[in-house]
Amino acid sequence: MAKIIKVGKKNSQYDVVIARNAITKTRLSKHLKSKNKILVITDSGIPSKYIRELKNLLSFKKQLYFHEIPCGEKSKSFSTFIKIQEKLADLKFDRSDSMIAFGGGVVGDITGFCAATYLRGIDFVQIPTTLLAQVDSSVGGKTAINIKQGKNLVGSFNNPSLVLISSKFLETLPDIEYKSGLGEVIKYAFIGNKKLYKLIHENSRKIKSRNLNILEDIIEESIITKSKIVTQDEKENGIRAILNFGHTFGHAIEASKNYKGITHGAAVTLGMVIAAKISYFEGHIKIHQLDNIINLIDSLGLESNYEKYKFKDLKKYLSNDKKVSSGKLSLVLINSKGLAFKTNQFNNKSLEKSFA
Ligand SMILES: NC(=O)c1ccc[n+]([C@@H]2O[C@H](COP(=O)([O-])OP(=O)(O)OC[C@H]3O[C@@H](n4cnc5c(N)ncnc54)[C@H](O)[C@@H]3O)[C@@H](O)[C@H]2O)c1
């Protein structure tokens, strides 16, 4: 049985469907029946059998087009954006047409941004194929591309009209990408989802062996947490900031490595350990809570040791972070109840001590 979660406020609400195979002809034809043309964006790393399957399922659409971008972060660029916009215009897409993002977070972010801006906004559907995209980037409506000054600096909030999550795609995901997604999963457990925390704690072996039943439960719990937060705060004016737990130092680590040699989720995982340590030095959590966090990360085979990163090297990237407002750095920390909160009230020494 598919799990269905409703996300967003009434006028922009959409379904997130989670199943072993959520992409069925019935679901697609029902959702896309009023659409004339469909442009599917995908990347060169998506296994070709998945693309063939999707083509087959969408064969009821006479005007079906595919556009493949090179896989990797470099595709979240203006040049890719322009190519897609020109393709939409050449194919004479109008507001009765739709786009589909079929891939990971890179494909989802650029497709969502193209859909937000072409003709001032056309419909788009997310079909995420990586764990990170399934538990995080496909839901919540953040879309973006990168410019040389920084990652995700140009973008918009644009909700998809439907998200179809098939857990079976996770079977072919490279280990490094799977672990990257687990980093975001574990974040939801640390920022307040106790059921998810328990699920991970009791099933680490099954998670490591990619048991799809457990993964579907975990994806569901992740989306429930994200959904509650983004529905309350669609444009990140308040509570949504807690989703950035681990991201301030995570982004600094990614930037210090020029976004090479470390995945987003792996950097965020290290960032969460750092934020948890700062929470401990600030007196918000006890030492056993810090240990529990590190143990949970370790139990999934993720890296929790960040000793090769030095505070003095990361410092300059902290001030470039979007979490800096009026020159004051904000951090997302956690408290003894296991809840996350955003604050700019902390002792700078706690930051340095976390790296000592
Ligand atoms: N919009 C948001 O809210 C949000 C949140 C988090 C991250 N992001 C963005 O997401 C991006 C990272 O996304 P990602 O981690 O999914 O990486 P990705 O999109 O680069 O995908 C990783 C790799 O996996 C391959 N792949 C995808 N599905 C596969 C499958 N089923 N089997 C085998 N290979 C597969 C891809 O071809 C790619 O090479 C970053 O750009 C980040 O900024 C956005």
Closest CA to 272 of 151, 177, 191, 337: 191
Please give the tally of structural domains in the chain: 2
40 plus 158 within the same structural domain: yes
| Cα distance between residue 94 and residue 265, in whole Å | 36
What was the pLDDT predicted at 327?
66
What is the length of the chain? Answer: 356
56 plus 198 within the same structural domain: no
Instruction: Kindly state the tokens that stand for 326.
Output: 């009026």
Q: Which of the listed residues 42, 75, 130 should we mutate to test ligand 1's pocket, taking the one with most ligand atoms within 8 A of CB? A: 130
Which of 171, 190, 223 delimits the end of a domain? 171
111 plus 211 within the same structural domain: no
59 plus 146 within the same structural domain: yes
Which residues contact ligand 1 via a Cβ below 6 A?
A: 43, 45-47, 71-73, 76, 103-107, 109, 129-130, 132-133, 136-137, 140, 142, 152, 169, 172-173, 177, 180, 264
Whether the per-residue pLDDT at 287 is higher than 80: the answer is yes
Interval 46-65 mean pLDDT: 97
**The domain that contains 25 carries what CATH number?**
3.40.50.1970
What was the pLDDT predicted at 87?
98
Residue nearest to atom 4 of ligand 1 (CA): 137
pLDDT, one tens digit per residue, over 193-248 is 999 999 999 999 999 999 999 999 999 999 999 999 999 988 888 889 999 999 99
The confidence band for 256, taking pLDDT boundaries of 50, 70 and 90, is very high
| φ, ψ dihedrals at 68, nearest 5° | -100, 130
> Considering Cα of 177, then 143, then 259, then 273, what sign does the dihedral take?
negative
Residue nearest to atom 11 of ligand 1 (CA): 105
Instruction: Kindly state the tokens that stand for 94.
Output: 């109008």
What was the pLDDT predicted at 168?
98
159 plus 218 within the same structural domain: no
Q: How many CA atoms lie within 13 A of 262 on its CB side?
A: 24
What was the pLDDT predicted at 12?
84
Instruction: Kindly state the tokens that stand for 127.
Output: 């079909």
318 plus 253 within the same structural domain: yes
> What does the mean pLDDT of the chain come to?
95
What was the pLDDT predicted at 78?
97
Ligand 1: which atom is nearest the Cα of residue 184?
A: 6
18 plus 158 within the same structural domain: yes
Asked whether the beta carbons of 130 and 173 are under 8 A apart, the reply is: yes
Asked whether the beta carbons of 287 and 280 are under 8 A apart, the reply is: yes
Place of tokens 């350990």: 273
Residue nearest to atom 36 of ligand 1 (CA): 45
Q: Within its chain, how far is the Cα of 89 from the centroid? A: 29
| Cα distance between residue 120 and residue 355, in whole Å | 46
Whether the per-residue pLDDT at 1 is higher than 90: the answer is no
Segments forming the whole domain that contains residue 285: 175-353
What was the pLDDT predicted at 259?
87
Q: What DSSP character marks residue 173?
A: S
123-128 vs 142-147, strand pairing mode: unpaired
99 plus 13 within the same structural domain: yes
Closest CA to 102 of 68, 147, 149, 132: 68
The confidence band for 324, taking pLDDT boundaries of 50, 70 and 90, is low
What was the pLDDT predicted at 11?
84
H or E segment to which residue 328 belongs: strand 328-329
Which of 122, 139, 171 delimits the end of a domain? 171
Residue nearest to atom 37 of ligand 1 (CA): 45
**What are the CA-CA distances from residue 32 to residues 22, 64, 279 (Å)?**
15, 12, 47
Residues in contact with 93: Cβ distance below 8 Å, sequence separation at least 6, in sequence order: 37, 39, 118, 119, 122
Asked whether the beta carbons of 122 and 143 are under 8 A apart, the reply is: no
> pLDDT exceeding 90 applies to what percent of the chain?
89
Instruction: Kindly state the tokens that stand for 55.
Output: 């083509």
159 plus 258 within the same structural domain: no
What was the pLDDT predicted at 279?
97
Cα dihedral: 117, 121, 122, 127 (round 10)? 60
217 plus 139 within the same structural domain: no
Q: How many CA atoms lie within 13 A of 78 on its CB side?
A: 6
204 plus 56 within the same structural domain: no
First to last CA, the chain: 50
What was the pLDDT predicted at 236?
86
Residue nearest to atom 19 of ligand 1 (CA): 104
Ligand 1: which atom is nearest the Cα of residue 43?
A: 37
Whether the per-residue pLDDT at 326 is higher than 80: the answer is no
pLDDT, one tens digit per residue, over 127-170 is 999 999 999 999 999 999 999 888 899 999 999 999 999 999 99
Name the residue with higher pLDDT: 116 or 236.
116
Which of 122, 137, 171 delimits the end of a domain? 171
What was the pLDDT predicted at 150?
84
Instruction: Kindly state the tokens that stand for 314.
Output: 């990361």
Distance 130 CA to ligand 1 centre (A): 6
Distance 46 CA to ligand 1 centre (A): 10
Q: Is residue 30 classed exposed, middle or buried when 0-12, 13-18 and 19+ CB atoms within 10 A define those classes?
A: exposed
287 plus 209 within the same structural domain: yes
Q: Which of the listed residues 23, 43, 106 should we mutate to test ligand 1's pocket, taking the one with most ligand atoms within 8 A of CB? A: 106
